[in-house]
Amino acid sequence: MNIHEYQAKELFTQFGVATPAGKVAADAQQALQIAQELGGKGLVVKAQVHAGGRGKGHFTNGFKGGVHVVDSAEKAAEIAGQMIGQTLVTHQTGPEGKLVSKVLIAKSVDIAKEHYFAILFDRASGGHAIIASTEGGMNIEEVAEKTPEKIIKEFVHPTLGLQAYQARKVAAALGLQGSQASQAAKLFSALWNLYLKSDCSLVEINPLAITTDGQVVALDAKFNFDDNALYRQKAVVAMRDTSEEDPREVAASEFGLNYIGLDGNIACLVNGAGLAMSTMDIIKLHGGEPANFLDVGGGATREQVTAAFKIILGDPKVKGILVNIFGGIMVCNVIANGIVAAAQEVGLKIPLVVRLEGNNVEAGKQTLAQSGIDIISADGLTDAAQKVVAAVK
Ligand code: GDP
Ligand code: MN
C-alpha cells in the first residue's frame, strides 16, 4: 500500500522527522487559504499522485511541472487551479498519466544540496538496509547504475534496530559535519522509528535537503507498507486512496482474491500462485498475452469465483478466459459449480477454456458438460494454452 506525500508529511510530523509545514488542498480556493495561513510567500505547490518524477513531469493539457515554487498566495492558488482536475504524466505514471485531485501547499526552502536517503526491507541480508547518496533529487536507479560508488549502504539488524553510531556514520558518509550531522542523525533515527512502528517496507526521502541556512529537512517522501501488517495499522489503512489504485485490484482485494492486472487479452483464473505463474508462462510460450494474474486461493468459494469472473469480464481488453484448476484442498466439482453459476450470472460471451485436474475431476467435468454453457474443455496445461490462444485469434 502507498500513501500521498501530504499524508507522509503528517507521519513525519508525528514522529519528529524534520519537514517544512504544509497542507493539502482540493481546489484553488482552499489552496489560497492555506497559502495565506503559511505566510503567503516562499511556497511550493505539489501535485499529489502516487508516483514520483513530478518535478520533471508534464500535464496532458501542456502545463509543465508537477512541482512549482511560488512567491505569493495568489500564484499558489493559480498553479493549484491549473493542476487540479488535470492529468500528470511522469516517467513513473506511464503515458496515460495520473489524475491530480489534490495538491500540497508547503513552505518552500532554499536548497543548498540535495541528498538521497531511504530505509527498506532487505531480503538478501534478512534485515533492513539504509541506502543513502549525495546524488539526491534524481533517479536513484540511474545513480546506482552509472556511479555505484556514490551509493552508501548500511545494514540494520532487525531486532537491535538502527544504532546511534550507524546514523552518525551515514551522516558522515554524506559529508555532513557539525550541526548538520547531528540534525541528519536525529532525522534518520526518527525515520527509523516511523519505519518500524508503521510496518513500512520502504521509506524514501528524495531529496533530503540541506537548506542555505543549514537546516536538514525531508522535502519529498515515498512510502510502501507491508500489506500483511495492515491489520494492525488502522491509521495507515485510513490513508489508503483507492482512486490511485487499479480498480480491478481494488475489487479483487474486497473478495480476498490475489489479482494483478496486466496488458494482454487472455484472462486467467487459477487456484494457487505457482500454478497461476506457470499458466501465464505457458500462455506466453504459445504466443498469447495474459490479461491478469489471478489466484483465487486454495479454498475459493462460489462467491469468490463469481467475483473473479466479474472482474475479468469487466476488462474490455479480455477476449478469452482460461480457467486452470488443480483440485487439491478444493475439489474439482465445487469449482465447476462455481464456474457454471458465475458464467450464468454474468452472461459469458467470450471463449472459455477450462482445464481441471485432481480430486473429483470426473464429477467436475460432468458438471461442466451438463451445464449447457459453451465451454472448451482441455486436457493438460499445453492443450489448455493452445486452445485459448487459438480461441482469441
Ligand atoms: P518528485 O519530482 O516527484 O520526486 O518531487 P520532489 O518533491 O522530489 O520535487 C522535485 C524537485 O523539486 C526536488 O528535487 C527539488 O529540487 C525541487 N523542490 C521540491 N520542494 C522544493 C522546495 O520547497 N523548494 C525548492 N526551492 N525546491 C523544491
Ligand atoms: Mn522526489
Distance 240 CA to ligand 1 centre (A): 24
Distance 67 CA to ligand 1 centre (A): 6
Q: What is the pLDDT of residue 313?
A: 86
Residue 231 among the catalytic residues: no
CA distances from 281 to 233, 261, 264, 353 (A): 36, 15, 13, 16
Which mutation among 2, 12, 67 tests ligand 1's pocket best, with the greatest number of atoms within 8 A of CB?
67
Q: What is the pTM of this model?
A: 0.83
- Around ion ligand 2, which residues have CB less than 5 A away? 206, 220
Which of ligand 1's atoms lies nearest the C-alpha of 219? 20
Q: What is the pLDDT of residue 36?
A: 98
Q: What is the pLDDT of residue 126?
A: 92
Q: Which helix (H) or strand (E) holds 297?
A: none
CA distances from 143 to 15, 133, 138, 183, 320 (A): 29, 9, 8, 25, 43
Q: One digit per residue, pLDDT tens: the chain, 393 residues?
A: 999 999 999 999 999 999 999 999 999 999 999 999 999 999 999 999 999 999 999 999 999 999 999 999 999 999 999 999 999 999 999 899 999 999 999 999 999 999 999 999 999 999 999 999 999 988 899 999 999 999 999 999 999 999 999 999 999 999 999 999 999 999 999 999 999 999 999 999 999 999 999 999 999 999 999 989 999 999 999 999 999 988 888 889 889 899 998 999 999 999 889 999 999 999 999 999 999 999 988 777 778 888 898 899 888 899 999 999 988 877 888 888 888 888 888 888 899 999 999 999 999 999 999 998 899 999 999 999 999 999 999
Q: What is the pLDDT of residue 332?
A: 87
Measured between alpha carbons, how far is 221 from 10 in angstroms, rounded to an integer? 11
Distance 218 CA to ligand 2 centre (A): 10
Which of these is catalytic: 6, 116, 195, 259?
A: 116
CA distances from 365 to 160, 303, 339, 353 (A): 56, 20, 11, 12
Say if CB 340 and CB 310 are below 8 A apart: no
Residue 165 among the catalytic residues: no
Which mutation among 6, 142, 220 tests ligand 1's pocket best, with the greatest number of atoms within 8 A of CB?
220
Q: Is 15 helix (H, G, I), strand (E, B) or coil?
A: helix
Question: How many CA atoms, within 13 angstroms, populate the side-chain half-sphere of residue 339?
Answer: 34
